[in-house]
Structure 1
Amino acid sequence: MSNLDVKPTPTVCGGRDDVSAQPVRELLTGRTVTLGESTEVRRLLPNLGRRMVGAWAFVDHYGPDDIARESGMQVPPHPHMGLQTVSWLHDGEVLHRDSLGSLQTVRPRELGLMTSGRAISHSEESPRDHPRLLHGAQLWVALPDAHRNTAATFEHHADLPVVTGGGLRATVILGELDGAVSPGTVHTPLLGADLALAAGTDTRLPLDPDFEYAALTMSGDTEVDGVRLAPGSMLYLGCGRRELALRADVDSDLMLLGGEPFEEKIVMWWNFIGRSGEDIAQARADWMNSSRFGEVKGYDGAPLAAPELPPVPLKPRGRVR
């Protein structure tokens, strides 16, 4: 997954100074970004009003799109540094290739987790013979300093733990929820869960009060802590919650993201997360010089070129506007 903005804005985020210890309800509006040849996504993180939720630093929601007569997702080889990518589908298939030699088709409710560490490159595409609909989310998790130079890895988990009750079916993507633990590797206290609510559900989900949370409605019409969320919208919930009220009048799906507020300050630009402008500049130079990030073999097309770096120095902005 790539940030395909031709003029990406450097963003400094992280730190706990602006994280409220109390529950809040902040509705985040996404902006539309073109991903690859034909896929449009709603970018919800980073956002003008909120840049991180725990270690979650990047969230795109896309679809459902009818791609029966289209090529679907086509993202050429591109690099990553200092983060993990999370591929999560509700409809469709995505073929993942990377510079480790991984070749994996990710299907609905399966976890594709790539840890970039110091450097990796990958591509993502809809298979030639693909389902009619494409619908999912693409997310990044910032790696803490102790793990940001770790060896790159790719994990695929088709069997994930599920929590059920009261009309709720929760698939634990990363971290732990109500005693169920995902097999996906995490490097900070974190939660990612896919929540399916049957029509008429009115329930409460246990939470960790030390985590901050956000909810993203994928489909249907959900009510989260009394706030109605249309598909593609995200509600930031803050910290200090021991449970979360959920309602749905129709069959609905949402994602719950959470984690301990990320203490370190990070610099995010294009597809890199570092700790300084120098980190980012070196990563860009290494990608353009075909060093460090390896080669993705088997993709029919040229790799992405990195955008030009901005002419102005980075300006710290913190976690919120």
Structure 2
Amino acid sequence: MSNLEAKPVETVCGEPDGPEGPAVEVLKAREVPLGGVRAMRVRRTLPQRARSLIGAWCFADHYGPDDITDTGGMVVPPHPHTGLQTVSWLFAGEVEHRDSLGSHALIRPGELNIMTSGQGICHSEVSTERERTLHGVQLWVALPDAARHGPRDFQHYAPPLVELDGATARVFLGELAGSDSPVRTFTPLLGAELTLQPRAEVTLEVDPSFEHGVLLDSGAVTMAGTDLAPADLGYREPGTSDLTLANPADEPARMLLLGGPPFGEELVMWWNFVGRGHEEIVAFRNAWEAESDQFGRIDGYEGTPQRLPAPALPATRLKPRSTPR
């Protein structure tokens, strides 16, 4: 998915500093339109001033459930990416993906699509009319410096359903509860969909070197004793080997669990680019506007426009932002 904001904010993402905070930090989402006036809206929890990274996870958009007959669904023309992996996960609906690697795939509920940009790729995403409701998340993973100039890649994986005591899990990246995803990443990562039954509680063994985030999709949940509402992203710093999640309500609660060790590299994010400095972002934008071979071409996309133009660059250089622990 593209960041379709007309004036995207330049953000420097780095390791947080400042005094130690509470055991669970709650990040609230902001609403962003995905396109024009009638477009569907997404709830963005990463990046933001409070926190820009959870492990290598650097972007999180949560959308739906939307009736696409009202919103027009998702129509994102070909657009570029650098320095990241896109992670697409649906709860409902169907999205058609095309990219300049030549991939043509459908994103369906419970199935992971992950695209690696390397030094440049472009792709399009369009919801199909076979499903009326669209509901899911789009996530980005920052590539470490050693991997960000590598080849483009696309992977698809349908993780098995894992039955837990009072919960179910689908582990699409990393390892959790005895389920291990074969999908390649370039830093250690955890990504899983969890559903807690009504009034259920589960304690998960997690890697103590990871920081963790819980993005609540529906229902109610407490994360290590802290209440989360739908669209909240609860953050917990490294240092614990277990994570307790509880559902206090009479309806199931569904969420994503994200994790990874602190990233350790400073990033510059603007529009759809992840880089290491202002000049590099400018060069990426110029290459896209010049239709450089750096990003390749997409065959089969029939929408208008044929490619998404880059927004204007800000008048000032970016400034680093610190985030509290």
Bin the TM-score by the shorter chain.
over 0.9
State which drifts further: 243-252 or 112-121: 243-252
* Residue segments in structure 2 that go unaligned for 5+ positions in a row: none
How far did residue 68 of structure 1 move?
Answer: 3.7
The CA distance in 2 between the partners of 1:161 and 1:272, in whole Å, is: 32
The two structures have a TM-score, normalised by structure 1, of 0.95
- 1:114 is matched with which residue? 115
- 2:216 is matched with which residue? 217
How far did residue 296 of structure 1 move?
Answer: 1.6
- 2:132 is matched with which residue? 132
- 1:301 is matched with which residue? 304
State which drifts further: 7-16 or 261-270: 7-16
State which drifts further: 310-319 or 168-177: 310-319
Aligned residues between the structures? 318
State which drifts further: 264-273 or 179-188: 179-188
Q: Identity, % of aligned pairs?
A: 51
Alignment of 1:32-51 (within 5 A): 32-37=31-36, 38-51=39-52
Q: What are the Cα deviations for residues 31-85 of structure 1, in whole angstroms up to 9, with x where unaligned?
A: 1101134110000000121110000000010011122455311111100000000
Q: Helix, strand or coil: the match of 1:183?
A: coil
State which drifts further: 116-125 or 31-40: 31-40
* Cα contact 1:118–1:149 (8 A) shared by 2: yes
State which drifts further: 71-80 or 170-179: 170-179
How far did residue 311 of structure 1 move?
Answer: 1.4
Alignment of 1:149-160 (within 5 A): 149-157=149-157, 159-160=158-159
State which drifts further: 291-300 or 55-64: 291-300
Counterpart check, 1:234 vs 2:228: no
Counterpart check, 1:251 vs 2:256: no
The CA distance in 1 between the partners of 2:19 and 2:5, in whole Å, is: 28
- 2:98 is matched with which residue? 97
Alignment of 1:63-78 (within 5 A): 63-78=64-79
Q: What are the Cα deviations for residues 141-195 of structure 1, in whole angstroms up to 9, with x where unaligned?
A: 00000000111111111x2144321111111111111332112211001111110
The CA distance in 2 between the partners of 1:101 and 1:183, in whole Å, is: 22
* Residue segments in structure 1 that go unaligned for 5+ positions in a row: none
1:272 alignment partner AA: F
Q: Helix, strand or coil: the match of 2:281?
A: helix
| CA root-mean-square deviation | 1.7
Counterpart check, 1:80 vs 2:81: yes
Q: What are the Cα deviations for residues 261-296 of structure 1, in whole angstroms up to 9, with x where unaligned?
A: 000111111000011111101100000000011112
Could you say which structure has the higher strand fraction?
Answer: 1
Q: Are residues 18 and 81 of structure 1, via their aligned partners in 2, closer, same or farther at CA, if it must alter by over 3 Å?
A: farther
How far did residue 220 of structure 1 move?
Answer: 1.5
* Cα contact 2:24–2:223 (8 A) shared by 1: no
Q: Helix, strand or coil: the match of 2:24?
A: strand
Q: Are residues 287 and 18 of structure 1, via their aligned partners in 2, closer, same or farther at CA, if it must alter by over 3 Å?
A: farther
- 1:197 is matched with which residue? 196
1:201 alignment partner AA: A
The CA distance in 1 between the partners of 2:110 and 2:124, in whole Å, is: 20
Q: Helix, strand or coil: the match of 1:279?
A: helix
Q: Helix, strand or coil: the match of 2:209?
A: coil
How far did residue 15 of structure 1 move?
Answer: 3.0
